[in-house]
């Protein structure tokens, strides 16, 4: 970041000193096999393009529905909750930022499991709050939550489940225990839950300080549209509404997201295909000597075979126009996060990995 001495920036000191979040690479080269930012390999429901095609100039000219009414109703019907329990946002990231701002002031503690979504500490830093990472207990095949996590003293606790970047899942009994014990606001980030066997949605009715995050980016193939939403009890949603923008979702995004969530049959068929490919990828990577904990998401985290260099794998894949995600972060430097692609992309990826391994393994 540009920060010359003596610039006398009018921004607050903690912002001048902080680093922003670095999103994954978004190459413009469409020939790249892009397995780095957890997009769905399949396009959204055909109903989405049809809804977009029906937008009129008159709709563009007028302000959209401030509360994305059509989407709230459609999501409420899918989840069997009231529309007042749904909070549409400009991507799930906006909900995360809102929750942290609502609950954490200067020096307040923002806790999260680590490794997790690397945006969380950045959101805490934006508020001059204290990022409190809580270490996952990582063994070769398992990521475990420390006992009594819910007793932690913090204004906010952020848990992405299934976890990113590991894809591992915290079971419902553990989540319920955390929700019962924790005294601040608990956000369970279910951005990837469409690929998992369980959700914490049954807990919302019982815990007034719980917010679930959902995203249309992964499960519904709409990363380009920026649409997410929160699910929580109505009084908490009403508090969050006070600090959001007046019209966070545009008229086309509302139409697209409503069309997508209303086509559950299409979405479920896509999730099933991704899950099958995830199982195939896990088996192939394991056979190649990688350590892959069981993922319940649309990506896997693969630990490179002992003595090999994950950053080198990343670079060599990139040279062959395959992008995966490498995190230069504690306990992740020996791993690669690989998004599940189409069957064809996955085959090319595994084939390339096998070739690279041959090249990197010294002959016996």
Q: Which position among 148, 171, 205, 243 is part of the footprint of a copy of itself (CB under 8 A)? A: 243
Q: Which position among 72, 79, 214, 226 is part of the footprint of a copy of itself (CB under 8 A)? A: 226
> Pick from 261, 145, 159: which is nearest to 200 by CA?
159
> Pick from 336, 252, 337: which is nearest to 55 by CA?
252
Q: Which position among 86, 113, 119, 285 is part of the footprint of a copy of itself (CB under 8 A)? A: 119
Q: Which position among 121, 165, 248, 293 is part of the footprint of a copy of itself (CB under 8 A)? A: 248
Site for a copy of itself in 73-102 (CB under 8 A): 90-91, 93-94, 97, 101-102
By CB under 8 A, is residue 327 in contact with a copy of itself?
no
Q: Which position among 5, 173, 242, 362 is part of the footprint of a copy of itself (CB under 8 A)? A: 242
How far apart are the two ends of the chain, measured CA to CA in Å? 47
What are the C-alpha distances in Å from 301 to residues 55, 102, 187, 294?
A: 40, 32, 23, 9
Site for a copy of itself in 332-361 (CB under 8 A): none
- For residue 174, which phi and psi values (nearest 5 degrees)? -65, -45
- For residue 118, which phi and psi values (nearest 5 degrees)? -70, -5
Site for a copy of itself in 122-161 (CB under 8 A): 126, 128, 155-156
The residue among 195 and 290 lying less far from a copy of itself, judged by its C-beta, is: 195
Residue identified by tokens 């413009």 is 28
Show Cβ contacts of residue 232 under 8 Å, excluding neighbours closer than 6 positions: 85, 87, 204, 210, 211, 212, 240
Q: Which position among 117, 250, 299, 314 is part of the footprint of a copy of itself (CB under 8 A)? A: 250
- Work out how close the CB of 354 gets to a copy of itself at its nearest, in angstroms, rounded to a whole number: 27
By CB under 8 A, is residue 42 in contact with a copy of itself?
yes
């Amino acid at each position: 970041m540009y920060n010359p001495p003596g610039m006398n920036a009018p921004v607050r000191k903690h912002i001048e000193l902080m680093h922003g979040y670095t999103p994954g690479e978004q190459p413009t080269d469409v020939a790249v096999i892009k397995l780095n930012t957890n997009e769905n390999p399949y396009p959204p429901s055909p109903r989405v393009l049809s809804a977009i095609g029906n937008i009129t100039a008159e709709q563009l000219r007028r302000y959209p529905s401030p509360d994305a009414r059509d989407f709230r109703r459609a999501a409420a019907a899918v989840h069997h909750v009231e529309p007042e329990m749904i909070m549409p946002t400009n991507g799930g990231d906006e909900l995360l930022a809102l929750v942290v701002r609502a609950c954490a002031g200067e020096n307040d503690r923002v806790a999260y499991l680590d490794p997790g979504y690397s945006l969380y500490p950045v959101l805490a830093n934006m508020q001059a709050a204290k990022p409190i990472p809580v270490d996952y207990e990582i063994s070769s095949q398992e990521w475990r939550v420390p006992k009594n996590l819910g007793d932690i003293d913090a204004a906010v606790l952020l848990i992405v489940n299934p976890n990113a970047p590991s894809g591992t899942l915290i079971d419902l009994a553990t989540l319920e225990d955390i929700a019962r014990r924790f005294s601040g606001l608990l956000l369970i980030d279910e951005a990837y839950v469409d690929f998992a066997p369980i959700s914490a949605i049954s807990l919302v009715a019982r815990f007034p300080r719980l917010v679930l995050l959902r995203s249309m980016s992964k499960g519904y193939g709409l990363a380009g549209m920026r649409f997410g939403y929160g699910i929580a009890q109505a009084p908490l949603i009403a508090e969050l509404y006070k600090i959001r923008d007046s019209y966070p979702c545009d008229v086309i995004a509302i139409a697209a997201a409503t069309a997508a969530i209303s086509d559950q049959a299409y979405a479920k068929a896509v999730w099933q295909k991704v899950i099958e490919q995830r199982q195939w990828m896990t088996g192939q990577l394991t056979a190649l000597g990688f350590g892959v904990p069981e993922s319940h998401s649309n990506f896997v985290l693969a630990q490179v075979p002992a003595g090999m260099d994950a950053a080198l794998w990343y670079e060599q894949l990139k040279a062959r126009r395959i992008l995966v995600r490498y995190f230069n972060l504690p306990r992740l430097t020996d791993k690669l996060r690989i998004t599940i692609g189409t069957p064809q992309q996955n085959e090319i990826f595994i084939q390339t990995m096998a070739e690279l391994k041959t090249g990197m393994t010294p002959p016996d």
